[in-house]
Structure 1
Amino acid sequence: MATLQDEKVEDVCHLEQTETFVIDPVEEKKVLRKIDLYLMPSIFILYLFSFIDRSNIGLAKVAGMQKDLHLNSNEYYLAVIMWVIGYAGAAVPSNMILSRVRPSYYIPVIMFAWGAIAAGLAGVKTGTQLLVLRFFLGVFEAGFNPSVLFMISIWYRRHEQSKRFMIFLSAGILSGAFGGVFAGAITSRLDGAHGIPGWRWFFLVEGVATVGASLIVHWFLLDYPSTSKQLTPAQREIASRRLFLDGITHQKTEGGDLSAIGHAFVKVILNWRIWMLCPAYMTIIGALAISNFYPTLVEGLGYTSTNAQYMTAPLYLVALVIAIPASWYADRNPHLRGYLLNFTLILLGGLFSELTAGILDFKARYIFLCLINSAIWTGNCLGLSFTSTALGGCDTEVRAIALPLINGCGGLAQLYGSALFPAEEAPRYLIGFSVFAACFVVGGMIYLAAVFLFKNFPFVRSSTLENDE
């Protein structure tokens, strides 16, 4: 009786024997459109809910949560980082589970859980309850982002990934933009309804909406190229072969020998390339922590709490306008992706963070915040596509561990990012913006070094990672 490992070897051998197989471009485009039709709207909508549920604490703060729960600056910081701790700790284990099960089952389950917890935030009475729920919100959301990164890496060719990452991350950008508008509408219209403050309605409405979405998303999510039921057998073959011909491994990994996961985990930990990508990505995601303080920063420019929620929207819309053409250009010129990433982080991120630290004019600072946010989201998209394409030749289990490890390390960076904007530093926040400027520059230089090193010492196409190549 053949084992799963035997089946995987047979699949690889079959594809190697047909490596020169020419795929009909017309048929490939049809398959790609079908993949996009199922996968991209699903992950877009899910990330929209995910990002709102994780970042709405900043909007709730200016809507009265901090006052009602009697939170000081340090307690609010703890509430922010408890999500980070839960997320960083659960990211790798969650994706290790994902690599052995069907994503179309696993993702709806964790989504239902985090939606229920997000709704539960509406009922917190003390700071301690807020901390506990934020921790478990991070634990269950930890499985989503890395799973999407993994799925994009096993469904799309290298020159197709930046645009897809942009579509995925644009949900976060739009949720940041319209989340503020949505929060302003809820807190202004429902505040006091049935004796419930507006910020509690905000948590409740968004959490219940997430739970509702989790109940139907199963029928729209794809699994693996060789097993997904939404594709015909002929389409599955095209989906698999086109990736193989692009040097991307994508074998089905459901079930099987769990020792393979442990072996892959050790290889990932010992590979020096991973430890270049981790700190580089941390410089981007560490800066993303500023999103928890956008309402506070904008409120400091002279707006009321409700208007401050509305005025966070342009920060994200500008980011979307810049990130879309940058991602398109990166896919058109994949050999320049690393250089574009370096330019984005150093010039757009580092320069304008330093200018924000030194200039106190409110209008100028608002414009600089728009550009800093653009650097974060554009850098995030380019950083993910750079990492995913670099890992393309690795075994599926290796990629399933490496991607959440890098993503989880990025999440940990928000621990320091969230600590850089205490109320005592208002309104200038000199230390916070100066640290972000330095981090952007360091991140840009690491990615630039990776461009040259990975050309000479690439991730090898194998079921394991070579440690010393």
Structure 2
Amino acid sequence: MAAEIEKQSHVHQEYTGSETRTPVQIQSQFALLRDLSDDQMQALDKRIVKILDWRMMPIITLMFLMSYLDRINVSNARLAGLQDDLHMSDTIWNAGISTFYVGYLIGQLPGVIWMTKMKPNLFLPGVMLAWSAATICMPAMTNGTGFVLCRFVIGLCEAPFFPGITLMTSSWYNKRESPTRMAVWHAGNTVSNILSGFLAAGILTNMEGVHGLHSWQWFFIIEGAASIAIAVAAFFLLPSWPHDTRFLTEEEREMAQYRVLVSNGGVEEALGGTWDGIKEAAKDPFTWLFCGMHFALVTAQSFKDFLPSVSLFIMETFGFDTLTTYLVQAPPYAIAYAISCGLAYSSGYFQESCFHIIVPIIFSALGASLLIATLNVGARYFGLILLITGTYSGLNLQLSWETTVVPHPRKKKAALIAIANAISQVSHWFSPQFFPTSQEPFYRLGGGLILFGCLFAVIICLLVTWRAKVLNKKLDEAEGWSEHTGNERGWRYVY
């Protein structure tokens, strides 16, 4: 363990301004760890990971699943008559979809910075309760104005959640573990599409007129109630930060802190104020590169808000009835989930991110090309699988990459995550305009937008890799390291 950890023992001064420390030095600062042997440290390390995997990961995955279900539920409700019942034009509908992301953008940075000053086991369930309450209010809508307002409030309440759980995961798991764990909970957005299809099949096709309500109203009521139940459970199951989680022993808390410190190169929290973290993130070129990458990947995923309701993908060219339309969405997302987890494990094991993102994105571009080039059902369904799998895998790995390249201090990392995620959501302001019904049956305008996102993502990946290699070379020179010296190589940027 010590030999492997030693390789991670130095951290680049550029992003912290703090002195690096070896694992032995880090271990010595913890009263209950300093006298433990390597075997005892390994056993304690495994125990911490097991506790986190069985206690934190399931509830985070469920919470994220519900947050994405909340985001895409309107598309299935649209198929059940939501737009017609509220007498909304396509313009008003698209405004409601886009307004969600206006609230989402506004709440990102202040929300996640606020979380760094609070206990995440209180903050994250709290925001979940807020957006769930707003979701349950949606059945009371009577017109397009109500739809737009509800979606804005839900977006505002949901804004800190995604960067919040990204920050929380990277604060508990080391850089080898983090990609796989992020894939597990990030798969909530793929599972939510599967679950949404089954819920839609069960509720939207069977509950019309029950107790005088439309089926889409029942859809929001049931989903909102389930989300509230999960939020309440999260108050009791989620951990706080590694130093103050009550369900761990003092020795386990020290080990939790030690693990992440070693992964980060031994860097303590160096920045005090909120603005310090934001300023440090803004000055780091990696922040803006990851902003571009996240924007590109979200743009390449612009199909996901429209997939259930765009007749191109399912109703007309696939020739399915309404019930089958809901159910046919499941297999591509199930495949995407499995492949995403496999790629995340490989990325963490080999400590490589660039080509783990680029290769799936190339397959996504191929999938988009098939969708806009042919009406053959088999070819289009295969293209849909490629499109979904590549973009979801790429986005998951981008999240773990940015938190590995800039692992500390927490407020800087929080600012980077929030800025990148907020800027990426700008894509949702204009992407609805690329999927008008006038583009049937090929939707080549939307396909062109997806291809642009894929190309831009590849370019940014290469730029991040280039910068990481340049900085690693400077670190090699500073340490006097080369392949011929035989010296142990310290902390380096992952690319």
Q: TM-score, normalised to structure 1's length? A: 0.90
Do the aligned partners of 1:124 and 1:130 also contact (CA within 8 Å) in 2? yes
Do the aligned partners of 1:160 and 1:331 also contact (CA within 8 Å) in 2? yes
Matches within 5 A, 1:72-221: 72-221=89-238
Matched letter for residue 102 of structure 1: K
Pick aligned residue for 2:385 from 352, 367, 370: 370
Do the aligned partners of 2:131 and 2:158 also contact (CA within 8 Å) in 1? yes
How far has the Cα of 1:249 moved from its partner? 6.8
Do the aligned partners of 1:58 and 1:292 also contact (CA within 8 Å) in 2? yes
Report what 2:354 is aligned to. Answer: 338
1:420–1:69 CA distance, 2 compared to 1 (3 A): same
CA shift digits 1:298-350 (9 cap, x unpaired): 22332233321222112211211321211121111113x211111111x2122
1:286 to 2:296 alignment: no
Question: What is the SS of the residue equivalent to 2:129?
Answer: helix
1:18–1:363 CA distance, 2 compared to 1 (3 A): closer
Distance 2:134 2:429 in 1: 22
What is the percentage of aligned positions where both structures have the same residue? Answer: 22
Do the aligned partners of 2:61 and 2:188 also contact (CA within 8 Å) in 1? yes
Do the aligned partners of 2:370 and 2:379 also contact (CA within 8 Å) in 1? no
1:217–1:250 CA distance, 2 compared to 1 (3 A): farther
Do the aligned partners of 1:290 and 1:418 also contact (CA within 8 Å) in 2? no
Do the aligned partners of 2:22 and 2:266 also contact (CA within 8 Å) in 1? no
CA shift digits 1:157-209 (9 cap, x unpaired): 10111110110111221111121111110112211111211111101110111
1:389 to 2:404 alignment: yes
Pick aligned residue for 1:317 from 331, 334, 339: 334
Question: What is the SS of the residue equivalent to 1:122?
Answer: helix
CA shift digits 1:258-279 (9 cap, x unpaired): xx11122122223222111101
Residue correspondences, number? 445
1:438–1:13 CA distance, 2 compared to 1 (3 A): closer
Question: What is the SS of the residue equivalent to 2:307?
Answer: helix
Report what 1:242 is aligned to. Answer: 259
1:360–1:451 CA distance, 2 compared to 1 (3 A): same
Distance 1:325 1:17 in 2: 35
How far has the Cα of 1:19 moved from its partner? 5.5
Report what 1:37 is aligned to. Answer: 54
CA shift digits 1:50-96 (9 cap, x unpaired): 11111101111111111111222222211111111111111111001
Report what 1:412 is aligned to. Answer: 426
How far has the Cα of 1:429 moved from its partner? 0.3
CA shift digits 1:125-171 (9 cap, x unpaired): 10110000000100111111111000011111101111101101112
How far has the Cα of 1:351 moved from its partner? 2.1
Larger radius of gyration: 2
Pick aligned residue for 2:444 from 415, 427, 430: 430
1:252–1:350 CA distance, 2 compared to 1 (3 A): same
CA shift digits 1:347-391 (9 cap, x unpaired): 212222123222222332122112101112111111111111111
1:300 to 2:316 alignment: yes
Moved more, 412-421 or 234-243: 412-421
Matched letter for residue 43 of structure 1: I
The unaligned stretches of length 5 or more in structure 1 are: 1-8, 462-469
Q: TM-score, normalised to structure 2's length? A: 0.85
Question: What is the SS of the residue equivalent to 1:352?
Answer: helix
Report what 2:375 is aligned to. Answer: 360
1:457 to 2:474 alignment: no
Question: What is the SS of the residue equivalent to 2:278?
Answer: helix
Do the aligned partners of 1:287 and 1:417 also contact (CA within 8 Å) in 2? no
Do the aligned partners of 2:132 and 2:227 also contact (CA within 8 Å) in 1? yes
Report what 1:440 is aligned to. Answer: 454
Report what 1:4 is aligned to. Answer: none
How far has the Cα of 1:232 moved from its partner? 0.7
Distance 1:109 1:238 in 2: 28
Question: What is the SS of the residue equivalent to 2:99?
Answer: helix
Distance 2:266 2:116 in 1: 13
Question: What is the SS of the residue equivalent to 2:285?
Answer: coil
Report what 1:400 is aligned to. Answer: 414
1:27–1:108 CA distance, 2 compared to 1 (3 A): same
1:415–1:287 CA distance, 2 compared to 1 (3 A): farther
CA shift digits 1:237-284 (9 cap, x unpaired): 11111211122678689xx96xx1112212222322211110111111
Matched letter for residue 228 of structure 2: V
Do the aligned partners of 1:349 and 1:372 also contact (CA within 8 Å) in 2? yes
